[in-house]
Amino acid sequence: MQSFRTEIENPVVAKDILALEAKIHEFKEGKLDEEKFRSLRLARGIYGQRQPGVQMIRIKLPYGKVTSNQLRRICGVSDEYSTGRLHITTRQDIQIHYVDVNRTPELWSQLEKDDVTIREACGNTVRNVTASETAGIDVNEPFDVSPYAHALFQYFLRNPISQEMGRKFKVSFSASDEDTGLSYMHDLGFIAKIENGVRGFKVLLGGGLGSQPRHADELFSFLPSDKIIPLMDGVVRVFDRFGERKSRAKARLKFLMKDIGLDGFKVLLEEEQKAVPYTSYPIDAETYPKIKIGDAVAPKVEIKDQQTFEKWKSTNLVPQKQEGFVAIGIKVLLGDFYTDKARLLADLVEKYAAGEVRMTLRQNILVPYIKEELVPFFYTELEKMGFVEIGYNTALDITACPGTDTCNLGIASSTGIAEELERIIKKEYPHYIANPDVAIKISGCMNACGQHNMANIGFQGMSIRTKNKLVAPALQVLLGGGNLGDGNGRYADKVVKVPSKRGPEALRLILDDFDKNGNGRSYADYYADKGQMYFYDILTHLSDADNLTPEDFIDWGTTERYEKAIGVGECAGVVIDLIATLLFESEEKIENARETFEEGKWAASIYHSYSSMVNSAKAILTAEKTKTNTHIGIIKDFDTKFVVTGKIDLGSSFEELVLQLNKNEPTEVFAKGYMENAKTVLKKIEAYRKQELVEA
């Protein structure tokens, strides 16, 4: 493996990329534990695939915004290091697959030339900050949330308080009370509001999907915009210290909220306020880049098929609050498109629109700032690219994760069944092509990357076993979810599990019943009226596994017999580190504390020192085979086993020493003294460990 020369001007980014290259070298030479390397690469957007020897790279795109230059850069990287396919995620990222891990530093270096990062796109970090794709153009928005989403993204990128949490942390911004950012299913959700002329947000806390979805609690009905970053700083600190770390199934913020309740969380949040470096963090929205419309003169065009054009306009045009402009929605089947078309799109919007596109939460593309008179021209150009499929954000627009195509956790195909269901809707239910009310979503497993459990009609990949112990692919059918607006939503009920090949028949029965009895109501309201058992009675006969045919044992999109094969999930994997690796890591954290201290970043230095002390304690507790589920648990257990017993003398309790963190403001004096404490803790633990090994 040869080293490469990074040409990145930003020294922080360059150092980060070179550090990744060094860690890859260490791993290849057997000097870095495999599990530790996994944790490190995940925090840099490098995710293991179902296929051995290659990686998926997740490119982090705050609130889905991509400029023409950035899109061309992503295309170049995909062609050079991947397969030329770009996959849009339900968190407005772009993923590329089949990448050699050895080439990831140079790949990252290429992306950063146009200010595109993969840092913290995966792993136990603050993930991509998502937002309504209509932010800035939404006819109902009180103001553009883009500057606020961007400021929050920048604040937490590389922030030491959010690098090694128990699990991932997700944030969203909604442009209006329609809550198209889906605040109720996020760890933190912000909905734009104005009170007494002041910009701010309704704040939702502790939501999540997965196998146990939880509706977020309302933390504030209104919080001024200068308070949102200090708030999240405190929330992340609480989650980092009190959140579960051992059991991945219980490690999200929603489980902490379930354990201690909203009031209990507020108490912990208040205790962190002295440690938070800012009480106010004003965000100057006026400095956010202004829109500049391309001035190229578009040729006049003639629409040959006027009827098809009008149908497309009815489903794919999105109104803008800016007079004379509309946005165009591009329906991207399963979120997959290719670099040849992406380059053409980048050039088109640069010349004739605002030089940007938005990746959407439903795996589509939105092109804002199209002059109304240029809609026919854009239609003809997009038609050449294959980008004029009707049904943007309608029932025909099915969301699906990659499932068993590339994901280690996939149980059953999600992309295969999605294509079949779209085919059925087009052919048998054309009246749903323009229906924006019914949302259909599919996930290949319980982790809900396809957001199936908040859909009106959802499918989750599973398996089913016959009496003869044969295993076939299956789908859990979920019904009744939906976004109710202003931070309110319903999660879907699990109704019945059916063999995958019966998924289309299940959809037919559901839509036939709705057509017959819906009476103009929304599907969510209709389901709420009828109830779970009504639909169970309609669908239960499809669940019979005693009469499966040979075809039922072949999943959608494949010709081979189904075999349930689940790998090690990496979306938020919690790793067990070797003791020596942990202690070495504590040294690195102290070095980080020193560097940030010298840069005058007192709060960052303090948190690096805190992380070092907890990490050192974790190492010695791991040696004693003591559970290290939470930071607060590590702190208390270290006192019980080592300080109270006199094995290690710190001059005070470990808890008193460490939790000076939230009892002092982040000053230079405190940061320096706290760093010395971290050095002392590490030195004494290393000495104890060395003596322990000698006596052993």
Q: What is the pLDDT of residues 494-514, one digit of tens each?
A: 999 999 999 999 999 999 999
Question: What is the residue-averaged pLDDT of the chain?
Answer: 91
Say how far apart CA 597 and CA 574 lie, in whole Å: 29
Specify whether the CB–CB gap between 493 and 479 falls below 8 A: yes
pLDDT tens-digit series, residues 652-681: 999 999 999 999 999 999 999 999 999 999
Q: 127-137: per-residue pLDDT in tens?
A: 999 999 999 99
- Integer-rounded Cα radius of gyration of the chain: 26
Specify the CATH number of the domain 306-385. 3.30.70.3340
- Mean pLDDT, rounded, for 165-184: 96
* Residue-level pLDDT at 564: 64
With a cut of 90, say whether residue 541 has pLDDT above it.
yes
Give tens-digit pLDDT for 545-557: 888 888 888 888 8
CA-to-CA separations, 458 to 253, 399, 411, 507, in angstroms, rounded? 24, 10, 16, 10
CA angle 294, 300, 306 (to 5 degrees): 115
- What mean pLDDT do residues 481-488 have? 95
Kindly report which listed range (69-73, 249-253, 563-567) carries the lowest average pLDDT score: 563-567
Q: Is the pLDDT of residue 372 over 90?
A: yes
Q: What is the pLDDT of residues 383-402, one digit of tens each?
A: 999 999 999 999 888 888 87
CATH number for domain 579-695, candidates 3.20.20.70, 2.40.50.140, 1.20.120.330, 3.40.630.30: 1.20.120.330
| The one-letter amino acid at 398 | I
- Please name which of 125, 134, 220 lies closest in space to residue 165, comparing C-alpha atoms: 125
pLDDT tier at 571, thresholds 50, 70, 90: very low
Burial code (b: 16+ CB inside 10 Å, e: under 16) for 414-434 equals bbbbbbbbbebbeeebeebbe
pLDDT at residue 40, rounded to an integer: 78
Of these ranges, 35-49, 348-362, 432-446, 618-632, the one predicted with the greatest mean pLDDT is: 348-362
Residue 162 has pLDDT above 60, yes or no: yes
The pLDDT value recorded for residue 482 is 92
pLDDT at 492 > cutoff 50: yes
Angle at the Cα of 442 from the Cα atoms of 509 and 439, rounded to 5 degrees: 65
Instruction: Assign a CATH topology to domain 399-553.
Output: Sulfite Reductase Hemoprotein; domain 1 (3.30.413)
Residue 423 has pLDDT above 70, yes or no: yes
Identify the H or E element spanning 365. Answer: strand 365-371
Give the pLDDT band of residue 45 (cuts 50, 70, 90). Answer: confident
Which are the contacts of 165, defined by CB distance < 8 A and separation ≥ 6? 124, 125, 236, 239, 240, 243
What fold does the segment set 124-289 form as a domain?
A: Sulfite Reductase Hemoprotein; domain 1 (3.30.413)
At residue 286, φ and ψ (nearest 5 deg) are: -70, -25
pLDDT band with cut points at 50, 70 and 90 for residue 576: very low
The secondary structure of 83-146 as a DSSP string is -SEEEE-TTS-EEEEEE-GGGHHHHHHHHHTTT-B-TTSSSSSEEEEEE-TTTTT-TT-SS--H
Report the pLDDT value the prediction gives residue 406, as an integer from 0 to 100.
62
The answer, yes or no, to whether residue 310 has pLDDT greater than 80, is yes
Q: What is the pLDDT of residue 178?
A: 97
Q: Write down the domain spans for the chain.
A: 1-120, 124-289, 306-385, 399-553, 579-695
Describe the strand order of the beta sheet including 169-174 as a list of residue ranges: 126-131, 169-174, 188-195, 198-205, 217-224
Residues 137-153: pLDDT tens digits?
999 999 999 999 999 99
Report yes or no: 225 and 190 within 8 Å, Cβ to Cβ. Answer: no
- Which helix (H) or strand (E) is 343 found in, with range? helix 339-352
Q: What is the pLDDT of residue 437?
A: 85
Give me the pLDDT at residue 477, please: 95
**Model confidence pLDDT, tens digit, residues 201-260:** 999 999 999 888 999 999 999 999 999 999 999 999 999 999 998 777 788 999 999 999
pLDDT given at position 104: 93
Question: What per-residue confidence (pLDDT) applies to 324?
Answer: 97
Could you tell me if 146 and 136 are in contact, meaning their C-beta atoms sit under 8 angstroms apart? yes
The Cα 93–Cα 65 span in angstroms is: 9
What confidence category does residue 434 fall into, taking pLDDT thresholds of 50, 70 and 90? confident
Q: Percent of the chain beyond pLDDT 70?
A: 95
pTM of the model: 0.90
Q: What is the pLDDT of residue 569?
A: 47
Q: Are 1-120 and 306-385 equal in CATH topology?
A: yes
Q: What is the pLDDT of residues 46-61, one digit of tens each?
A: 887 777 778 999 999 9
Do 223 and 201 form a contact (C-beta atoms < 8 A)?
yes
Tallying the residues shown for the chain, one arrives at 696
Cα(376)–Cα(380) distance, rounded to whole angstroms? 6
Confidence label for 6 from pLDDT (cuts 50, 70 and 90): low
pLDDT above 60 for 584: yes
The CATH label, of 3.30.70.2500, 3.30.800.10, 1.10.3720.10, 3.20.190.10, for the domain at 1-120 is: 3.30.70.2500
Residue 412 has pLDDT above 50, yes or no: yes
Contact 417, 507 (CB under 8 A): no
> Residue 577 — pLDDT band, cuts 50, 70, 90?
very low
Average pLDDT of the residues in 412-428:
89
Reported for 435-440, long-range contacts at CB under 8 A and 24+ positions apart, including other chains, are 435/394, 435/395, 436/393, 436/394, 436/395, 437/395, 437/522, 437/523, 438/394, 438/395, 438/514, 438/523, 439/395, 439/399, 439/482, 440/395, 440/398, 440/399, 440/507
Encoded tokens for 566:
């689940």
Report the distance separating Cα 649 and Cα 643, nearest Å. Answer: 6
Q: Residue range 170-197: average pLDDT?
A: 97
* Buried/exposed 198-222: b ≥16 CB within 10 Å, e otherwise: ebbbbbbbbbbbbeebbbbbbbbee
Q: Would the pLDDT of 322 be above 60?
A: yes
| pLDDT exceeds 90 at position 42 | no
